[in-house]
Amino acid sequence: MAASKEEMTHKLTFRKFEDGDYVWGNFGDQIFSADTSHKCPTYVHRTPPCQGSCPSGEDIRGWLQIVRGIEKPPAEISMQEYAFQRSTEANPFPSMMGRVCPAPCQDGCNRNHVEDFVGINAVEQYIGDTAFEQGFKFSAPEELSGKKVAIIGGGPAGLAAAYQLRLKGHASVIFDDHEELGGMFRYGIPGYRTPRNFLNHEIQRILDMGNIETRMQTRVGRDIAVKEVENEFDAIVWALGCQSGRGLPVEGGDAPNCVSGVKFLEAFNTGHLQVTANRVVCVGGGDTSIDVVSVARRLGKIESLNKEEAPEHVIGGYVAHDAAYAAARQGADVTLTSLFPRAEMTAADHEVHDAIREGVKIKDGVMPIKVILGDDGRAIALRMAECKLEDNRPVIVEGTEFDIECDLIVAAIGQGGDLEGLEDFDNGRGLIDADKFYAVPNREGHFVCGDIVRPHLLTTAIGQASIAADSIDFYFNDQETKKRPKIDVHHFNLLEKLQESGLEPADYEKGAHRGTDEAEYSVHNYEDRSAQEIVGADELFLSHFPFTPRNLRKEHGPGAEQVLGHFEERMENFTEEKAVEEAARCMSCGMCFECDNCIVYCPQDAVFRVNKDASTTGRYVDTDYDKCIGCHICADVCPTGYIDMALGH
């Protein structure tokens, strides 16, 4: 009998079968003849899709399991600090990423097949903010390698590289041409999204590891030659980021009041831009464009602004606004245009929703075709037209042209690197080439990570920095760079967990041995495929999971009437209770979460709990193979896909 649509969308009480597979056999007969399969359960660790979707490779399932109380911390530390340690193995910025990462992990979450993804970002913010409040620190090895690395760029990639290198015992010096570290965290994202007290703390926590120096307001290739850096350091990491934005590729797009989104946000974040123009148009559709229009609505305009202080002069770096202008702000008319329909815009949907609530007008499915200039050569309007995509290229729909009057046009349509003075590294696209280990081809001792490889997400830059640090470590030790795993993330390691719990296997007894499930020198009944396999929803027993609404963070976003001058943070952190509740929605894909289904449903009592004094994450259940008849029930009812029928019997 087919399941009804109501059952399929609201009740997980049915099992899926292939078309034509509708006959229920005698389950008892199957059980008592199933030993002819010659298979018994083995416990298989796989990577969950949240982690497989995370460019920085965080052990997301791991720290969610810690927060919910499944994986226990060592006796001397709290749940919060243990979760912080696990989270920051891959990414040292939990407060920042919990706020601004667009969370591809949540898109990949298998819980989407039940009702709604786990609020991973919200729990990560809880971990990061608790670390700030309780003053958690990073530990670093006392013994140093004697090697020192130059890191060019103090943004997310450069700081993450310094952090990962210090964990391996290598010192570093960060060169940056700004007054403060932080890169895109500080200069590319508004402070109400990356609160400066949390940002400063997360940066300082890295510097506090020691043997990480900084040389600020120093541009390599201008203030110091590349050759000098090569002579002083044992390796170089290029983590420059992309600080230049693309101009509008249309007639009139070089008008003085056509500026890039990157420079607009930097002028705001440095405090130089205090007000914007009366009518602002931003061309984009991604996260940067949302930040631009949200900032423009907050800054507003003033009637008495001198021509010499027009926004483009501030953004160009020629003047700075007087902070007193803030008192005379009035609301600005702000429009965002996008090639794509709203549903297909690359910006996070909730960010688009917030911008609309704040009074931003959105014109979607349109493209710019010309900037209309006034007598003084400044833009006075942007001519647009509806468009459609053909072969992934926008094509104008004839007869749909219209003009948007404006005083400032901001292009947020892509970023590029600024390689002035570093032309030898330019691959012809304003970027630096990297091999699969993030080494610069044909440049011994040079490595690269972040947007200067290819502009992408902050979490991508942080993940690349981790791989580059591994490659540098191999380089320093004169070792051939290891082949990267198919699923290149920070994996849970059962042996390390056993050692942490005082349960490490005994020393290996040399000699000839056949298969055994009793020898204490071996980890039995377990296979780690996390470097090769991601566990999909079709491998889970989804009927185990009840419909549980996602716990939402409270937001304090302003409306159109309140947005002017509103620079307070929008996200409210979880309480411990809410963080634990939300973490408990994690389905622990690919790892046992101690539900007891296999024990309860085994008809032979062959599956049993490991004694408490020998149990730890990944070693909660075991199998008595003298009793097991290979009936497969334990694998069928395992919610997490942790049990495979594989062992010979």
Is the pLDDT assigned to residue 33 strictly greater than 60?
no
CA distance 279 to 178: 30
Is residue 487 a contact partner of residue 245, using CB atoms and an 8 Å limit?
Answer: no
pLDDT computed for residue 481 by the predictor: 84
Q: Which one-letter amino acid corresponds to residue 563?
A: V
SS3 content of the chain, % helix, strand, coil (to 5): 30, 15, 50
Q: Minimal CA–CA distance to 162: which of 97, 219, 92, 96?
A: 92
The residues with which 528 forms a beta bridge, in sequence order, are 45
Q: Minimal CA–CA distance to 118: which of 641, 582, 574, 552?
A: 582
Q: What band does 488 get if pLDDT is binned at 50, 70 and 90?
A: very high
- % of the chain surpassing 90 pLDDT: 82
Is residue 380 a contact partner of residue 374, using CB atoms and an 8 Å limit?
Answer: yes
Distances (CA, A) of 389 to 283, 315, 366, 367: 17, 33, 11, 11
Is the pLDDT assigned to residue 12 strictly greater than 70?
no
Q: What band does 636 get if pLDDT is binned at 50, 70 and 90?
A: very high
CA distance 161 to 430: 22
Is the pLDDT assigned to residue 14 strictly greater than 50?
no
Query: pLDDT digits over 393-441, tens only?
Result: 899 999 999 999 999 999 999 888 999 999 999 999 999 999 999 999 9
Structure tokens at 274: 């205090």
pLDDT computed for residue 480 by the predictor: 86
Q: Which residues contact 315 (CB under 8 A, 6 or more apart)?
A: 259, 263, 264, 267, 273
Indicate the average pLDDT of the chain: 92
The residues with which 612 forms a beta bridge, in sequence order, are none
Torsion of Cα atoms, 65 then 69 then 75 then 81, to 10° = 60
Q: What band does 361 get if pLDDT is binned at 50, 70 and 90?
A: very high
Is the pLDDT assigned to residue 13 strictly greater than 70?
no
Structure tokens at 370: 């010309």
Gap between the terminal Cα atoms of the chain? 35
Distances (CA, A) of 249 to 262, 493, 618: 16, 50, 55
Is the pLDDT assigned to residue 30 strictly greater than 60?
no
Q: Which one has a higher pLDDT value, 190 or 16?
A: 190
Is the pLDDT assigned to residue 310 strictly greater than 70?
yes
Q: What band does 130 get if pLDDT is binned at 50, 70 and 90?
A: very high
CA distance 293 to 360: 7
Torsion of Cα atoms, 503 then 504 then 510 then 514, to 10° = 60
Q: Which residues contact 179 (CB under 8 A, 6 or more apart)?
A: 216, 217
Q: Which one-letter amino acid corresponds to residue 411?
A: A
Structure tokens at 395: 């094509």
Over residues 193-218, mean pLDDT: 98
Handedness of CA 93, 97, 100, 104 (dihedral sign): positive
Q: Which one has a higher pLDDT value, 207 or 31?
A: 207
Instruction: Looking at 11-119, list the stretches that DSSP marks H as alpha helix, in order from N- to C-terminal side.
Output: 27-33, 49-52, 60-68, 79-87, 94-100, 104-108
Q: What band does 29 get if pLDDT is binned at 50, 70 and 90?
A: low
Over residues 7-23, mean pLDDT: 52
The residues with which 615 forms a beta bridge, in sequence order, are none
pLDDT computed for residue 244 by the predictor: 87
CA distance 438 to 465: 8
Q: Which one has a higher pLDDT value, 35 or 121?
A: 121
Burial of 571 (0-12, 13-18, 19+ CB in 10 A): buried
CA distance 279 to 288: 19
Q: Which residues contact 611 (CB under 8 A, 6 or more apart)?
A: none
Query: pLDDT digits over 517-564, tens only?
Result: 677 888 888 999 999 999 999 999 999 999 999 999 998 889 999 999
pLDDT computed for residue 646 by the predictor: 83
Query: pLDDT digits over 216-229, tens only?
Result: 999 999 999 999 99
CA distance 171 to 210: 8
CA distance 257 to 277: 10
Is residue 113 a contact partner of residue 139, using CB atoms and an 8 Å limit?
Answer: no
Q: Which one-letter amino acid corresponds to residue 589?
A: C
Q: Give me the count of residues in the chain.
A: 649
Residue-wise DSSP of 170-219: -EEEEEESSSSS-TIIIIIS-TTTS-HHHHHHHHHHHHTTSSEEEEET--
Is the pLDDT assigned to residue 4 strictly greater than 60?
no
Is the pLDDT assigned to residue 349 strictly greater than 70?
yes
Burial profile 394-413: b = 16 or more Cβ within 10 angstroms, e = fewer: beeeeeeeeebebbbbbbbb
pLDDT computed for residue 322 by the predictor: 92
Over residues 318-335, mean pLDDT: 94
CA distance 86 to 136: 13
Over residues 605-624, mean pLDDT: 93
Q: What band does 37 get if pLDDT is binned at 50, 70 and 90?
A: low
Structure tokens at 139: 């530990």
Q: Which one-letter amino acid corresponds to residue 80?
A: Q
Structure tokens at 453: 């490889």
pLDDT computed for residue 36 by the predictor: 54
Query: pLDDT digits over 442-474, tens only?
Result: 999 999 999 999 999 999 999 999 999 999 999
CA distance 410 to 270: 18
Query: pLDDT digits over 139-174, tens only?
Result: 999 999 999 999 999 999 999 999 999 999 999 999
Chain-centroid distance, C-alpha 83: 17
Query: pLDDT digits over 44-96, tens only?
Result: 999 999 999 999 999 999 999 999 999 999 989 999 999 999 999 999 999 99
Q: What band does 354 get if pLDDT is binned at 50, 70 and 90?
A: very high
Q: In what order do the strands lie in the sheet with 333-338?
A: 258-260, 408-411, 279-284, 333-338, 361-364
- Please, what are the domains in the chain? 1-52+489-649 (no CATH), 148-243+417-476 (3.50.50.60), 245-412 (3.50.50.60)
pLDDT computed for residue 23 by the predictor: 59
